[in-house]
Structure formats: C-alpha cells, structure tokens
Amino acid sequence: MAFSVVMPALEMAQETGKLIAWRKQEGDRVTKGEPLLEVETDKAVLEVEAPADGILAGITAQAGADIPVGQTIAWIVAPGEKPPTESESATTAPAARGKTESHAAPVAAAKAEPSSVQGARISPKARRLAKELGVEIATVRGSGPGGEILASDVQAAAAPGAAGAKQSGSIEIPSTLGRLMAERTTQSWTTVPHFFVTREIDASALNEYREKLVAEIERTHNIRITHTDLLVALAARVLLKHPRLNSSWTAEGIRLHDHVNMGVAIAVNDGVVAAVIPNAHVATLAEIATQRRDVAERARAGKLRPADIADATFTISNLGMYHVDQFSAIITPPQAAILAVGSIANRVVAVDGKPVVRPIITLTLSCDHRAADGARAAMFLNDLAEAIYDPGERLA
C-alpha cells in the first residue's frame, strides 16, 4: 500500500508550511522514523519523519514552496509500485493518511484551500501577512498556480521601493518565526488577563548544590548542569502541588494537567522558541540537562522535530545569562503561567537584623487570572522558594 507524505500540522491554527528541503531524493529507500524533509511552520523549522518504510516517489513539491497543511506532497511506495495518480489519490489518500497523520495534529481541511478576495486567489498566510504589513491585496500580482497570491508576493509588495513614495529608513521583513511571535504575543497580551508576582530568593543553597553536582554529572553523563536545569526540575516538582498553575484555559473550563511538560525558552537567530522537556516532574537532573542541551542544539540548527515544541504545560524563560536583573514574560496560551528568571547577583540583605551579602535570584511569575488568582500564585512562589533553599531534599 502507498503511504502519503503530507504537509503536517502541529496545531489547529497552522494553515500552511514552507518546504525547506528534502532529506531524501526521488527513488531513495526510506525507513519509517528517519528524517524525510524539513518544514518551516508558524513555530519553527522542523524535521518531519518518514511515515513508513519504502521508496520515496511522486514528489510534487519542491524546496521553497508554501503548502497547505494536509496536502499530499509525495508518496512512499513498495519496490516496483507506482505512486497513485491524482484521481486515484482522491480515493486512496484518506486511508493512507490515516496512518500518517498520527504523527501530527488534526488537520482542518477547510483551511487548506486558498481564499478569493476581489477576484484574486490568495493563500491564508498571504492574506494574514498582507493585513500585518498594510498591503492592498488588489495591488499584488500573484506568482502562484493560476495567479494565486503567495506570502512571498505580499513580502515583495511591501518591500521598500515596491510602490508609493520613497520613505527614509528601511523595512526588515520578519521571518515566519518573527511574525508568529508578533501575532502570539499580541494575541496573548490583548486577550489574556495577565498579572505578575515577584519574589527575591537567596540562591546560596542552589549555587552550592549545583557546584556539588557539576563535576559528578559531567563525568558520568558528559553534560554540564545549569541553573536553568535545576529550576526546571524544582519548578516541575512544585507544580504538582499547584495544579492551577499547571493548567490550560479552554472553552470548556480549566484543564488541569496531571503531568508537567516544561517549556524552556531558547533564543535563536530570528526569535525565541519554547522547547519542551516532557514529564519534567519525574526526570532526573541529568536527563533534563541532556534534553535541554539536545533540543537547544536542534533549535539553533533549525532541526527541531514536532515533538520538541508540542504540549508544554508551563514555561520558564531565563535571561540571567544576559545579566538581566528581572523581567516579566508574556504567557503562551493556553498555558496558565510562565516563570521569568533573572540573574543571580550579590546583594546586601538583612539576616538576623544584620547586613550580609547573599546571591539573590529574582523570579517573576506571570499568570492568567482566569485560571489562578494572586493567592495561588504567591503560594506557588513560596513553595518554589522553599525548594530553592533546600534543593537536595526535593531532588533526592
């Protein structure tokens, strides 16, 4: 049986994906689970795995193409088998895709078709981009099939000197990730009722515990433990006691998660991605550090996999390495909270009525007020502070 290779969807809001490169060529033998192609989605550049064993055939999309989610772009067939024709695939594809789409989120078929505006066919992504950049669709010439207006056409129309009076300065066209960040932060900030709770915590015990473990874990696992790793482990365990902070706001109500998939914000060339460490509440420090390192390397190399960025229930964003004292982060819906971590800096504080110097870390918790109130946020930070005061007990 032939298996269809489709443009995957990671979430319902995704409309199209850009094919970056094929990792295999027409006629190559492929193995189920190995990287087959690279796709740029609204989240990041991802590696898509082969859905079956066989021969890659019938490739219909080339690098650089923007493709609606769910559209078949190639087939994996048995040796000697020919890929289905267009008419055959209309009847055979649903059965084949049923096996393939288990690797991706559900696909909304209605979103795959380009829309028509004033007689011009335009892809959903191009329509959204035109609105963001203030481009009149009627003035754009489409370069897609049948004159369809693509996102690249809108970008070209918005480029300096494309039309109208020349203005000073320059315009930087954001990448897919940059546009996504703009959209999501705007949506979150304007629709989610944020509030913030800040706590300064003595990090002496955290520093001592890290120094105690660094050499041992580096020797046994060839990985260096960071403060982010420690905070991921501690926060994940504390979150089990505070389900409202580890929840999602939905149309049905507040969904409480019984596991902690910890998102970790990672800076890349053109923005930030939140890579996910699944089941962080039961993972060891070495496991957390290894996963965090591996996913960070894939993110910076543009080789993220769909599972790397899916299903986070809570996020940590650490800017301490950039010498930021404290900051407030914007929540990633539908998550209920995000923890912003500042640098650890020596400060003069009062201990038993006397001034002493202590390494202080500042944590700011951003919360969705629909899911959690100030008291719940304060109790979470209090329990996290207690864990930071004695990390060995919580991570033993």
327, 342 Cβ separation under 8 angstroms = yes
Averaged pLDDT, 305-331: 94
Low-confidence winner among 154-168, 308-322, 327-341 (lowest mean pLDDT): 154-168
* Weakest-pLDDT range from 33-37, 53-57, 86-90: 86-90
Which of 64, 21, 41, 63 is CA-nearest to residue 150? 64
Q: Active site includes 373?
A: yes
Contacts of 79 (CB under 8 A, 6+ apart): 54, 55
Q: Is the pLDDT of residue 215 over 80?
A: yes
**Cα–Cα–Cα angle for 336, 341, 345, rounded to 5 degrees:** 160
Angle between helices 151-158 and 124-133 (to 10 degrees): 20
- Does residue 105 or residue 124 have the better pLDDT? 124
The more confident residue out of 40 and 282 is 282
Burial level of 201, CB count in 10 A (0-12/13-18/19+)?
buried
The torsion angles phi and psi of 287, rounded to 5 degrees, stand at -65, -45
pLDDT on residue 93 = 45
Range 293-299 average pLDDT: 92
Distances in whole angstroms, Cα of residue 280 to Cα of each of 158, 293, 311, 339, 385:
44, 14, 12, 15, 18
pLDDT recorded at residue 102: 38
- Of 17-26, 82-91, 306-315, 332-341, the range with the lowest mean pLDDT is 82-91
Q: What per-residue confidence (pLDDT) applies to 117?
A: 53
175-195 per-position pLDDT tens digit: 777 777 888 888 899 999 999
Higher pLDDT, 252 or 88: 252
Looking at residue 141, what is its pLDDT? 82
For residue 345 the two structure tokens come to: 């800096």
Q: What is the dihedral of CA 109, 141, 128, 305, to 10 degrees?
A: 60
Taking residues 361-365, report their average pLDDT: 98
Q: What does the pLDDT look like over 46-77, one tens digit per residue? A: 888 899 999 999 999 998 888 888 899 999 99
Per-residue burial over 346-384, b if 16 or more Cβ lie within 10 Å, else e, is eeeeeeeeeeeebbbbbbbbbbbeebbeeebbebbbebb
308 counts as catalytic: no
Active-site residue, selected from the candidate residues 28, 294, 369, 390? 369
Yes or no: say if 289 and 297 are a contact pair by the CB < 8 Å rule.
no
**Domains of the chain, with CATH numbers?**
3-109 (2.40.50.100), 114-173 (4.10.320.10), 181-395 (3.30.559.10)
More confident residue, 335 or 14: 335
Q: 241 pLDDT exceeds 80?
A: yes
Question: Which residue of the set 28, 294, 373, 390 is catalytic?
Answer: 373
pLDDT tens across 319-352, in order?
A: 999 999 999 999 999 999 999 999 999 999 999 9
Examine the pLDDT at 7 and tell me if it is beyond 90: no
Q: How far is CA 7 from CA 106, 109, 381, in A?
A: 12, 12, 42
Nearest by Cα to 124 from 106, 134, 137: 137
**Residue 107: band (very low, low, confident or very high) from pLDDT cuts 50, 70, 90:** very low
